[in-house]
Amino acid sequence: MQGSAVTHLSVRVPWQDTRWDGRVCLDPMNNQSCVVLRAIAANRDDSAENHLRGQWIADLGENEKPACYKERGSFLSDREITLNVRLDYAEWSDAHKHIQRTAVRVPAYGATLVPFRWMLRENAYDIAKELGIEVSPEREPTSAFSRPDGLGPESRQPAALARRVCVRRALRMRRRARSACVAGRCGGPASRTG
């Protein structure tokens, strides 16, 4: 193998109003940019996060942690965290049900990375050739498998759907903020001017 396996690295992180220092957002109800990420949009619990705002994610129980912690929401934290992860396929694919949860230690100032390019079948043979890894189409599965919700590897959620979810949440948050300002509770210009 010649050269470096990595020539460029981009890491997608959700927006976090505590500068990714390892705490739950101080104002999670108004952080709508993070829900663009599908895993956060599907698993975020606004009222629970609001109750835990500002607390250290590393100190929370497994079921209390916000959805962003698995999406690198604390990559600038000076505290180590542990992610308990299980391959998504294990939830719905008979071929993967044997895979158990695994504790992944993420050191301070660290992040887990997902090599999206490496995960796409159309790139596999080129990557293997670049890295000198032996692969054979004969050893690859030939039957496609599908998730019960229709979002298997052959069908990715369109970006337009994620944007619609984000826009709906942003509009809901704007309505709440306007109602609070009209009632004089926002502390912004609207409550001072009348």
DSSP string, 140-164: S--S----TTS-STTSPPPHHHHHH
Tokens of 99: 């895979």
Per-residue pLDDT averaged across 109-126, rounded?
A: 80
Burial call 120-156: b when 16+ CB within 10 Å, e when fewer: eeeebeeeeeeeeeeeeeeeeeeeeeeeeeeeeeeee
CA–CA–CA angle 48, 49, 50 (5° rounding): 90
179 membership: H or E segment, kind and range: helix 159-182
Tokens of 138: 């004969």
Pairwise CA distance, residues 111 & 70, whole Å: 9
Residue 32 tokens, joined? 């709508």
Q: Give the pLDDT confidence of 33-64 residue by residue, as tens digits.
A: 888 888 888 889 999 999 999 999 999 998 89
Name which residue leads in pLDDT, 60 or 127. Answer: 60
Assess contact for 79 and 23: CB atoms under 8 A. Answer: no
Q: Is-above-0.85 flag for pTM? A: no
Cα 26 to Cα 96: distance, rounded to the nearest angstrom: 38
Q: Which amino acid is at 56?
A: W
Higher-pLDDT residue of 31 and 156 is 31
CB 11 within 8 A of CB 113: yes
Cβ contacts of 97 within 8 Å, gap of 6 or more:
90
Q: Residue 157 above 60 pLDDT?
A: no
pLDDT at 193 over 70: no
